[in-house]
Amino acid sequence: MSDQLVALSKVNKHFGPLHVLKDIDLGVARGQVVVVLGPSGSGKSTLCRVINRLEPIDSGTITLDGRAVPAEGKALARYRADIGMVFQSFNLFSHKTALGNVALGPMKVRGRAKADAERTARELLDRVGLADKADAIPAQLSGGQQQRVAIARALAMEPKLLLFDEPTSALDPEMISDVLDVMIELAQSGMTMIVVTHEMGFARQAADQVVFMDEGEIVERGTPAEFFDHPTSTRAKDFLSKILAY
């Protein structure tokens, strides 16, 4: 892979006695969509969170565009501004409108003028299908709408990379497809994405690379076709037989 955007090398992370990430090596090329699968507790959310250092790591290196993740302070804040993150529980700022949520980062982190930031924010809300909800506060929006605002908020920073930490796990079934539609559109537009999810359909359709984790290790990786149709490890076979049973 010549045009590597993200590279993790020998990354280890413990929570107390629990070894949640074991010697993780992972490379993500520019424009690639990597879907991380695995049973709960396998370390896939932690993998997502260490990349923008919401969790510090114990050893190993993580680089974005060839630069190592800064440890603390202003440099870390600037680094995070280049990485969008979408959370399972949306985490919209509950005292701000949808528009306010999306425009906050560009105004306060990028220093853009209010009118300018709000114009872009409206375009992004339109892109996620919520142009008419600009003035709604999060409590007035459904889960699926909140998550789409959260995606617009991440996009407003013009990130080099988008991280999705189980973006549809807290949603009702009929809202999941609204969010997945937006994510598919993003993948097709060339956004580099790392997506932790249980949505196998999304993985099949959008992923360039599937990474299967179990007990803190990357057990298997490959294209969606390889992984879903010809899994090699017993753990992956087990996992797939369980989730595809119904």
Partner 1 sequence: MDFVWDQRELILEGFWRTIQLAALAGGLSLVFGTLLAVMRVCPIPPLRWAGATYVTVVRNTPLTLVFIFSTFGLPRLEIRFSFFVFAVVALTVYTSSFVCEAVRSGINSVASGEIEAARAIGLPFRQTLSLVVLPQAFRAIVPLLSSVFIALTKNTSIAVAFSVTEATSILRRLQNQDASATFPLLIVTAAGYLVITLALSFAFSRLERRVAAAR
Return the structure tokens found at 34.
Answer: 């990597």
Q: Which is nearer to partner 1, 49 or 235 (CB)?
A: 49
Distances (CA, A) of 124 to 80, 119, 228: 20, 9, 34
Q: Which is nearer to partner 1, 95 or 237 (CB)?
A: 95
Closest contact distance (angstroms) between CB of 53 and partner 1 is: 9
| 153 lines the binding site for partner 1 (CB under 8 A) | yes
| 167 lines the binding site for partner 1 (CB under 8 A) | no
Contact 240, 231 (CB under 8 A): yes
Spatial CA neighbour of 218 closest among 5, 4, 8: 8
| 87 lines the binding site for partner 1 (CB under 8 A) | yes
Q: What's the sign of the alpha-carbon dihedral 138, 139, 145, 148?
A: positive
Q: What is the DSSP string of 154-203?
A: HHTT--SEEEEESTTTTS-HHHHHHHHHHHHHHHHTT--EEEE-S-HHHH
Q: In the stretch 62-81, what mask flags binding to partner 1 with x, by CB under 8 A? A: -----------xx--xxxxx
The span from the CA of 241 to the CA of 235, in Å, is: 10
Q: In the stretch 173-212, what mask flags binding to partner 1 with x, by CB under 8 A? A: ----------------------------------------
Q: Which is nearer to partner 1, 64 or 218 (CB)?
A: 64
The span from the CA of 119 to the CA of 99, in Å, is: 9
Spatial CA neighbour of 214 closest among 229, 230, 194, 231: 231
> Which of 59, 93, 181, 233 forms a contact with partner 1 (CB under 8 A)?
93
Q: Which is nearer to partner 1, 15 or 93 (CB)?
A: 93
| 105 lines the binding site for partner 1 (CB under 8 A) | yes
Residues of this chain that interact with partner 1 (CB under 8 A) are: 52, 54, 73-74, 77-85, 87, 89-95, 104-105, 108-109, 137, 139, 150, 153-154, 157
